[in-house]
Chains A and B, each alone.
Chain A
Amino acid sequence: MSCTGCCADNKLKELEKIIEKYKDIRGALIPVLHEAQELYGYLPLSVQKKIAEGLNIPLSEVYGVVTFYTQFSLNPKGKYKISVCLGTACYVKGAGEIYDKISEILNIKSGECTPDGLFSLDACRCIGACGLAPVITINEDVHGRLTVDDVPGIIQKYIDKEKEAKDQEKLVEA
């Protein structure tokens, strides 16, 4: 039996515990969604169904809330989570073009993840680094004062980093 099976079972039990904890509290949906997203990394159909059943509310309501708040995600996040700030300052400094360039290179839109699971892309609101506008974050790294021409190099850096890590692994195995 593969590991994914028992991991999935464990996660399901965790999710049930989360639902149980909030079950009879008014306004439980958002905290449950938060904790469920922490657990799964995103909120797929199966998780939302479970929450709807557990809290006894229609799935349409759960889905409505998930799609309303940008912090909830319907898709898994990549190993490297790219957030492009589209707040006012970044936007006037050309963040739109930066977003388009990343989207073009990775061939994904906001909220999506590359098929290899490496990158996900999100457009976000002001992250409070207006002095560095236009700014993006990749996981904890902040890249500021960007131009469109900087974008390919930055992405390549993470691809290289990943490749190095893989090569290292292979060496160790050998």
Chain B
Amino acid sequence: MSEFVTLTIDGKEVKAPKGATVLEAAKSAGIHIPTLCFLKDINEIGACRMCIVDVGARSFQAACAYPVSEGLNVITNSPKIRETRRVTLELILSNHDRECLTCVRSQNCELQKLAKELNVKDIRYEGENQEFPIDDLSPSIVRDPNKCVLCRRCVSVCNEVQSVGAIGVVDRGFNSTVSSPFNFALNDTPCVNCGQCIVVCPVGALYEKSSVEKVWDALANEDLHVVVQTAPAVRAALGEEFGYPIGTRVTGKMVAALKRLGFAKVFDTDTAADLTIMEEGTELVERIKNNGKLPLITSCSPGWIKFCEHNYPDMLDNLSSCKSPQNMFGAVLKSYYAEKMGIDPSKIFVVSVMPCTAKKFEAGRPELASTGYPDVDEVITTRELAQMIKEAGIDFMNLPDEQFDDPMGEATGAGVIFGATGGVMEAALRSVPYLLTGKDDENIDIKVVRGVEDFKEAELEVNGIKIKAAVVHGLGNARKLLDKIRSGEAEYHFIEVMACPGGCVNGGGQPIQPASVRNETDLRTERAKAIYEEDEAMTIRRSHQNPRVLKMYEEYFEKPGSEKSHKLLHTHYVARENYPEN
């Protein structure tokens, strides 16, 4: 039991646990204090001074960082406090590029909302303004320091949560900026393109490199057969862009919208996820049987792959050689599907809708073009898809539910759960017994690997072979586990790593929820519910029972791990330098 203290906030007696902040105590008493830099568990540093309150000290204190104490008397609202907050906000705004109408975050901007809330009518400060070049050299992330409010959420998520450390605060005073060291473009840093910086940014200082125009162009090109695949996590979050509650599954409407946008075929990346399980499960079984390199580590998450290439180049052989489902699907579409449908693969244009910004980088990897053409031509995020749907004037809410197209649309519950942390592991464990013995284990729901705990473990015994598995999500957690494996402190056969906390449902390409929502709701858990709901509703829930996947092996790939599947469905990795030489 935690101890409680009693304090007074705006004349109201409030009980709060010892160690709580004034902000938390006020919140529990129904008193709203404005915040800007504050993001629960990620950034609690009192940098922006929006949440200042009077605690009877010489100067106003930041409520998000000031601890409660017995008998403390707090005033959150007085003419002087309101004026001080407004002046601070005006100063922030005076050095902010206020092109709000054309800003990517227009109407979803925490700064804009705050300016309205604090009734800023005029910005009284005109002075020197900083002008920075926009860094748009990365295939995934654009950085516009002219919009940055120096809240440091991105720095915190990049350094503390992800342990990537590609950006930091540089210089001092008026010259302070968030930047990569030596002003390198993000592309020239150990940035893994996870985009967690984007989803925590309160303003438009960080956003994805848009492919919307390129997709429109392809759709308008009559020579092209434009197909689209959607990752499992997209359906669990797209609805948020259209006013649905967080965690609403909108699979049918999403498919309907994609058909109306003009895609020739709408496919489900889950089909390729099932294919991944066949290939990766076989790889695991072979490595265990033949004393191969263990642990085997999953390779679905492109942010994780780049992180490994930068930080654990000695462990690249531990990575599964399987391409990610996105790229497997691309390769299948330009080989098997092209043959089956009699379409020249050069005319097939594959668009992926992903919850992920790192997928954009992945699609551009030169080695991922097994058919001689890039596996995937363009990647758009969940946000970009929502943008296209709005731009096309589609009334999303009133769309009927429609089905993925044949012949590549069949998927299983195992494919769907790839979108949440632990999902790939659960899907694999649903199939590994079959791959080892030809028989299924009774157990289909492997709940120990579900949920948002930092680290999860599972053990499976089949025919006397013990398989020890671990699941981590968020690269900071991955680093901790990898260090233990490197030092020999931990031993596993199979590890699932997802770059983003919570897995793909919380990816850097997902709808952006403001701090006011994120502080109250665990997006990871809510969106994952939609994923597991879809899994439950599926008649087939094991990858090796996917009829399309079985047919593909029968008609084309022969068997998992065959020469043909190695050529088209597998890849290799490269050690990467963190920064250029000079």
Binding site for B on A (CB under 8 A): 45, 48-49, 57-64, 67-68, 70
Contacts and interface: CB of A to CB of B under 8 A. Distances in A.
Contacts of B167: 60
A45 B170 contact: no
Secondary structure of the B contact surface, majority rule: loop
A68 B172 contact: yes
Interface in B541-582: 578-579, 582
A60 B171 contact: no
Interface of B: 159, 164-172, 180-182, 189, 578-579, 582
Contact of A64 (B166, B168, B579): B168
A143 B331 CA distance: 73
Contacts, number: 43
17 contacts: A58-B164, A58-B166, A59-B579, A60-B159, A60-B168, A60-B180, A60-B181, A60-B189, A62-B181, A63-B181, A64-B169, A64-B181, A67-B170, A67-B172, A68-B170, A68-B172, A70-B172
Contacts of B582: 45
A42 to B, nearest CB: 13
A48 B171 contact: no
Contacts of A60: 159, 165-168, 180-181, 189
Contacts of A49: 578-579
B142 to A, nearest CB: 18
A156 B171 CA distance: 33
Given A59-B579, A60-B180, A70-B172, 13 more contacts: A45-B182, A49-B578, A58-B164, A58-B165, A60-B159, A60-B165, A60-B167, A60-B189, A63-B168, A63-B182, A67-B170, A67-B171, A68-B170
B159 A58 contact: yes
Contacts of B579: 45, 49, 59
Nearest to A62: B181
Nearest to A69: B172
Nearest to A53: B578
Contact of A48 (B159, B170, B181): B181
A59 B181 contact: yes
Contacts of B172: 67-68, 70
Contacts of B169: 64
A70 B175 CA distance: 13
A68 B171 contact: yes
Given A45-B182, A45-B579, A45-B582, A58 B168 contact: yes
Contacts of A59: 165, 181, 578-579
A60 B191 CA distance: 11
A167 B170 CA distance: 44
Closest 9 interchain pairs by CB? A58-B165, A60-B168, A63-B181, A64-B168, A67-B170, A59-B181, A67-B171, A60-B181, A60-B165
A48 B579 CA distance: 11
A45 B172 CA distance: 19
Contacts of B159: 58, 60-61
Contacts of A61: 159, 165, 168
Interface centre among A59, A60, A61, A70 (most CB of B within 10 A): A60
A40 to B, nearest CB: 16
Given A45-B579, A45-B582, A58-B159, A63 B165 contact: no
Nearest to A57: B165
Contacts of B181: 48, 59-60, 62-64
Contacts of A58: 159, 164-166, 168
A59 B167 CA distance: 9
Nearest to A60: B168
A27 to B, nearest CB: 17
A163 B181 CA distance: 39
A19 to B, nearest CB: 17
B582 to A, nearest CB: 7
A63 to B, nearest CB: 4
Contacts of B171: 67-68
Contacts of B189: 60
A48 B165 CA distance: 14
Interface centre among B164, B170, B189 (most CB of A within 10 A): B170
Interface centre among A45, A59, A68 (most CB of B within 10 A): A59
A49 B578 CA distance: 10
Interface centre among B166, B167, B180, B181 (most CB of A within 10 A): B181
